[in-house]
Amino acid sequence: MYKRGHLGIAMLTLAPITFRLVTAGYPAFAALVAGTVLYLSMLPDVDHRLPLVSHRGPTHSLLFAAVVGGVFAGAASLVGPALSVPVPGDVSMVAFGFLLGFGTVVAHLLGDVITPMGVNFLWPYPKRWSLSITPADSAPWNWGLFALGVFALAGAVVLAVRGAPI
């Protein structure tokens, strides 16, 4: 997938999370989560700029997702007490940070697994998984996923603000 398609998939994955956060009374937290996920939706493609790192190699794996989750958890442990931001449910700020970082990378991987090139989820194990639904450069798919994501996220926000039942 290209950037537009990845943004669409990120918004699709954010829609139910945003709905839940807003209906639970955490609209600012929902905006922070959405902004973070959308801003970092292309993070695994940093491999295009790294020498000696193949595209869809280590940065397109669950190991990388866990590392990013660990970095987010570490950051949350440092800034969480200073910000005093209430976290939804019984989840600690550190756990939520991990889930946010991990989930951001996984959302990107979902966009790449539908392409023929696939994703090596278990890198360094050499197996790639692919659903081979569409090539990464397909304009109809990239635009379609983007439009669907915008619609889903906007719909989730509207329904949550109007007080739709969970």
| pLDDT score of 48 | 87
Write the CA distances from 144 to 5, 6, 51, 100, 150, integer angstroms: 8, 11, 33, 25, 10
| pLDDT score of 86 | 67
| pLDDT score of 84 | 65
Domain positions in the chain: 3-161
| pLDDT score of 166 | 60
> In whole numbers, what is the pLDDT of the chain averaged over residues?
90
pTM: 0.88
Place of tokens 């999370």: 17
| pLDDT score of 58 | 92
C-alpha atoms less than 13 angstroms from C-alpha of 53 in its C-beta half-sphere: 16
Element (H, E) at 15: helix 3-23
How many CB atoms lie under 10 A from the CB of residue 38?
A: 18
Beta bridge partners of 129: 119
CA–CA dist 6, 119 (Å, integer):
14
| pLDDT score of 56 | 86
| pLDDT score of 63 | 96
Q: How far apart are the first and last CA of the chain?
A: 32
Place of tokens 């998939």: 9
Q: Which residues contact 124 (CB under 8 A, 6 or more apart)?
A: 58
CA–CA dist 155, 123 (Å, integer):
36
Which residues of the chain, if any, have pLDDT below 50?
none
